Structure 1
Amino acid sequence: MASCRVPGVLLMCVFVILLSTVFSISSASEEEKEYVLTLDHSNFSEIVSKHKFIVVEFYAPWCGHCKNLAPEYEKAASVLSGNEPAIVLAKVDANAEENKGLAEQFEIQGFPTIKILRNGGENVQEYKGPREADGIVTYLKKQTGPASKEIKTAEDADRLIDGKKIFIVGIFPKFSGEEFENFLIVAEKLRSDYDFGHTTNAELIHRGESSVSKATVRLLKPFDELFVDFKNFEVDALEKFIEEGSIPLVTLFDQNPDNQPFLNKYFGSPDEKAMLFLHFSHDQIDNFKSKYNEIAGLYKGKGLKFLLGDVLASESAFQFFGLTEDQAPVLVVQNNKGLKFINPNVEIDQIAPWLKSYVDGKLKPSIKSEAIPETNDEPVKVVVAKSLRDMVLDSKKNVLLEIYAPWCGHCKKLAPILDEVAVSFEKDADVVVAKLDGTKNDVPSDIIEVRGYPTLYFKSASGSKYVAYEGDRSKEDIIEFIQNNRDAATSESILKDEL
């Protein structure tokens, strides 16, 4: 089911898609030629099955980001059509009713989503590259051919190894055997995230031992200790080593685009997150950085990842956490249940003891919430974080709750339908239709999993049912779902009806 993707803990607002106008003109006819294939439910499988490598954008016609991407995507398709072999770019209107099955099959939760399909669609990977034409072309060229490039000369090493990015190089006595094969398996699996190379000559790698006696994976990085060696070639262990080693001890959240890949890894990590936001022009910034790095080192490997953010680059973070600039320096911890712990105007010597109190379970979470409305007499009731427990979680009524975002196109389309549903239950004291602004109010993620907007959850009066609604978003289907899942009328409501 289509929905507007939730900003994945701060990342949504970091990406900027450049708008440009691109026309491919035929010299013979002066008519525009389209290089991006248009797919739908009727031809998708047939066309994808013919390609060893094809890129598919899932879009919605109303989506602003999709409109901005369209000319860049078309320009990239034009350039890549001349590649050897040609790289095919395609698109699917995932908002169209007839293509909903494709959207569900590929778990499309927001627009635009781009997928790389290999071997006739048997292998599906997320596209994680740039959103402008030149970047798309460069990224996709790297995604074709071997996942790991052989390094034979110093020139190869200089060309392949970018000192600003993670690079994984396998050093082998020979390019055969289980260790080498497992390295290639991991390289293929993670090629969308990292660049890989392999060599028999460790002297060509400018960091680390120049002589290696046994097969070694060397992870090169532009931070912390700059390189780490690993000799366990079991696939899962090697993948874990790369994923964990690619996150800095302290990730920087600033305006430097080179830090974006590390931010993606940080926010995608399953670990709990400590985030310190302050002005990088602060007169004590060096002392803050030094102390914070020292503390991060003490928690290394203990399930807590650290980030240092510049207030000037952190507007999206401040909106997400409900912070204001006058609270900086502010220390925030987010746990695996989505609960947030906030320490505003923190001093350098307060960081370590406050984090220890958090780890020891002595802190209470901070709940972001709008004020409870003074009047709440519309058919769809307004719920905020402060009233969520009374109106939904502990309510003795059957409640359909929508978690929405004001900017979400799907939410705007659903709003009048929910109004009609609510009106149809106005005389039924046991049913409540409600809504909560997910951008301004926290919800307990261990109970309500919000992957996109809108998210609909239903709780029965007894609390025996608490399920996500994933049916069609029509008035009739929603009403039928409520009727089929509700608990019987309570004695209190029966008494009111009798009176």
Structure 2
Amino acid sequence: MKLVQRIKTYRISFLCCILVCHFFYNPTDSGAVQLTTGNLDTILASNELVIINFYADWCRFSNMLAPIFDEAASKVQEEFPEQGQVVMGKVDCDKEGAVATRFHITKYPTLKVMRNGQPTKREYRGQRSADAFLSFVRKQLADPIKEFKDLKELLELDDSKRTVIGYFDRKDVPEYNIFRRVATNLKEDCQFFVGFGEASERMHPPGTPIVVFRPDKVRSNDKDETFLGSLKVYDELNVWASEKCVPLVREITFENAEELTEEGLPFLILFHKPDDNDSVRKYDDVVLNELYSEKQNVNFLTADGVKFAHPLHHLGKSQSDLPLIAIDSFRHMYLFPDIKEMEVPGRLKAFLQDLYSGKLHREFHYGPEPVTDPLQQIEGRKPTSPPESTFKKLAPSKNRYTLLRDEL
């Protein structure tokens, strides 16, 4: 009898131990991790990817998103259980005002993406559903680098995309780890390729890996360029690759229009036909050679005039008038008088200066001003009659980021 009682006692103790362990190590509260000033920096430093939902309890849209984000966090945790990969967190901006201020949060909900402890330049602007969040995480954690086995494969690369190519002896070297970190940061802007051993040995001295940038030759006159800094210094390679991968002249699409408008800079846009790469290259050259100093004041863009037919219509133009150049100041759109004058030295810069000085706006309201600049003394030139901005309509809401009922 005593033996039976002892066995029963052991069983009860064992079950209690299991319950205690389950209670402490498998908590029932699933979903996104609540982030505070106390745990934020540790989580950012110890995870490759962190997605943060900045919310406010009084915000209706925050409350609509909350259960979806928690469901997504549970799905992400189930698929990516390994520590250090990804965390989906949330910040109560009313309780954690210091955190909200640190990340310049003024709209709710805001979804920030952090990689290797630093905010990415693109916030999450995709569909607000658990499956969409999971798909986004999968894409972010996918290897950003494609390996080639033979140099001939590089001849088949898409020339319309900017490319960074690494030539290494082997993968298990510090230089490659840095190369991969940079690729992770810039994979939305460049395609990355790498070759090891025999696949790339003809392209670099033994024991000395090199990294080469290949421009989008279809749309650019730039040449291939080799990185001359230290591949053992992350900041050196990251700054160099960022300058190459994020061009001075960017293409605006419906996917990035909201992001570009939020930068708050006027647009100088070349509208062109889809297959007109010649105009794009000429525009790139003019911007690089004459307008580089203006990059802090204006966004230089190209736009497919077929996809963006609506702004053309507001300008009183159609696809048959392409290519053409216009400024969108987020108040009005101003048409550059003659695309043929784009390559005339100083002409496009004078057009920008007329925007800064307010001349374009004044002439819209009060008619043309007296001409004193010889560059402007062209017979038959007429003042523009600018319509309202169309691109400002693509900007994010003043009160919240894009979160529509049909997305939910």
- Whether the 8 Å CA contact 1:182–1:233 is kept in 2: the answer is no
User: What amino acid is aligned across from residue 104 of structure 2 in structure 1?
Assistant: E
Equivalent residue, structure 2, for 1:331: 325
Structure 1 residues 339, 360: CA separation in 2 closer, same or farther (over 3 Å shift)? Answer: farther
Structure 1 residues 165, 73: CA separation in 2 closer, same or farther (over 3 Å shift)? Answer: farther
Is residue 297 from structure 1 mapped to residue 291 from structure 2 by the alignment?
A: no
Distance 2:309 2:261 in 1: 18
- Whether the 8 Å CA contact 1:183–1:233 is kept in 2: the answer is no
Equivalent residue, structure 2, for 1:137: 134
Distance 1:181 1:46 in 2: 23
Equivalent residue, structure 1, for 2:100: 103
Equivalent residue, structure 2, for 1:79: 75
Over aligned residue pairs, what C-alpha RMSD do you find?
Answer: 5.3
Equivalent residue, structure 2, for 1:171: 167
Distance 1:41 1:101 in 2: 9
Structure 1 residues 65, 191: CA separation in 2 closer, same or farther (over 3 Å shift)? Answer: farther
Equivalent residue, structure 2, for 1:242: 241
Distance 1:245 1:266 in 2: 22
Distance 2:203 2:288 in 1: 28
Map 1:19-168 to 2 at 5 A. Answer: 35-37=30-32, 39=34, 41=36, 44-45=39-40, 48=43, 52=47, 54-61=50-57, 66=62, 70=66, 73-86=69-82, 87-94=86-93, 96=94, 98-116=95-113, 123-126=117-120, 128-129=123-124, 131-132=126-127, 133-141=130-138, 143-144=140-141, 151=147, 153=149, 168=164
Equivalent residue, structure 2, for 1:396: none
User: What amino acid is aligned across from residue 199 of structure 1 in structure 2?
Assistant: G
Shift of 1:101: 1.7
Distance 2:302 2:188 in 1: 26
Map 1:192-271 to 2 at 5 A. Answer: 196=192, 198-201=194-197, 203=199, 211-214=202-205, 215-219=209-213, 223-224=218-219, 228-234=224-230, 235=233, 236=235, 238-247=237-246, 251-255=250-254, 257=255, 260=256
Q: Number of residue pairs matched?
A: 311
Structure 1 residues 79, 407: CA separation in 2 closer, same or farther (over 3 Å shift)? Answer: closer
Structure 1 residues 114, 129: CA separation in 2 closer, same or farther (over 3 Å shift)? Answer: closer
Distance 1:407 1:125 in 2: 21
Distance 1:47 1:178 in 2: 24
Structure 1 residues 233, 38: CA separation in 2 closer, same or farther (over 3 Å shift)? Answer: same
Shift of 1:58: 0.8
Equivalent residue, structure 2, for 1:30: none
Shift of 1:78: 3.1
Shift of 1:103: 0.4
Distance 1:182 1:49 in 2: 18
Shift of 1:55: 2.7
Shift of 1:277: 4.0
User: What amino acid is aligned across from residue 36 of structure 1 in structure 2?
Assistant: G
User: What amino acid is aligned across from residue 278 of structure 2 in structure 1?
Assistant: S
CA-to-aligned-CA distance 1:159-217 (integer Å, 9 cap, x gap): xx99986553321234466754653553465567666554325848xxxxx93024332
Q: Which structure ranks higher in relative contact order (CA pairs < 8 Å, sequence separation ≥ 6)? A: 2
Secondary structure of the structure 1 residue equivalent to 2:288: coil
User: What amino acid is aligned across from residue 171 of structure 1 in structure 2?
Assistant: Y
- Whether the 8 Å CA contact 1:148–1:198 is kept in 2: the answer is no
User: What amino acid is aligned across from residue 202 of structure 2 in structure 1?
Assistant: S
Map 1:431-470 to 2 at 5 A. Answer: none
Shift of 1:109: 3.9
Q: Scaled by the length of structure 1, what TM-score is found?
A: 0.46
Equivalent residue, structure 1, for 2:354: 364
What is the identity percentage for the equivalent residue pairs of Structure 1 and Structure 2? 18
- Whether the 8 Å CA contact 1:125–1:192 is kept in 2: the answer is no
- Whether the 8 Å CA contact 2:55–2:62 is kept in 1: the answer is yes
Distance 2:44 2:352 in 1: 56
Distance 2:280 2:190 in 1: 28
Distance 2:132 2:161 in 1: 15
Q: Scaled by the length of structure 2, what TM-score is found?
A: 0.54
1:274 pairs with one of 259, 268, 290: 268
Secondary structure of the structure 2 residue equivalent to 1:85: coil
- Whether the 8 Å CA contact 2:326–2:336 is kept in 1: the answer is no
Distance 1:202 1:63 in 2: 58
Secondary structure of the structure 2 residue equivalent to 1:274: strand
Secondary structure of the structure 1 residue equivalent to 2:98: helix
User: What amino acid is aligned across from residue 224 of structure 1 in structure 2?
Assistant: R
- Whether the 8 Å CA contact 1:251–1:266 is kept in 2: the answer is no
User: What amino acid is aligned across from residue 242 of structure 1 in structure 2?
Assistant: A
Distance 1:179 1:274 in 2: 39
Distance 2:251 2:283 in 1: 15
Secondary structure of the structure 2 residue equivalent to 1:224: coil
Shift of 1:57: 1.2
Equivalent residue, structure 1, for 2:338: 347
Distance 1:60 1:89 in 2: 17
CA-to-aligned-CA distance 1:233-265 (integer Å, 9 cap, x gap): 34555334422332468543345x5xx49x968
Structure (1 or 2) with the greater helix fraction: 2
- Whether the 8 Å CA contact 2:250–2:300 is kept in 1: the answer is yes
- Whether the 8 Å CA contact 1:332–1:340 is kept in 2: the answer is no
Structure 2 alignment gaps of length 5 or more: 1-27, 366-394, 401-408
CA-to-aligned-CA distance 1:439-458 (integer Å, 9 cap, x gap): xxxxxxxxxxxxxxxxxxxx
Structure 1 alignment gaps of length 5 or more: 1-32, 205-209, 372-404, 411-499
- Whether the 8 Å CA contact 2:342–2:348 is kept in 1: the answer is no
- Whether the 8 Å CA contact 2:160–2:219 is kept in 1: the answer is no
Distance 1:308 1:347 in 2: 17
Equivalent residue, structure 2, for 1:308: 302
- Whether the 8 Å CA contact 1:331–1:344 is kept in 2: the answer is yes
Distance 1:181 1:308 in 2: 35
Distance 2:178 2:98 in 1: 35
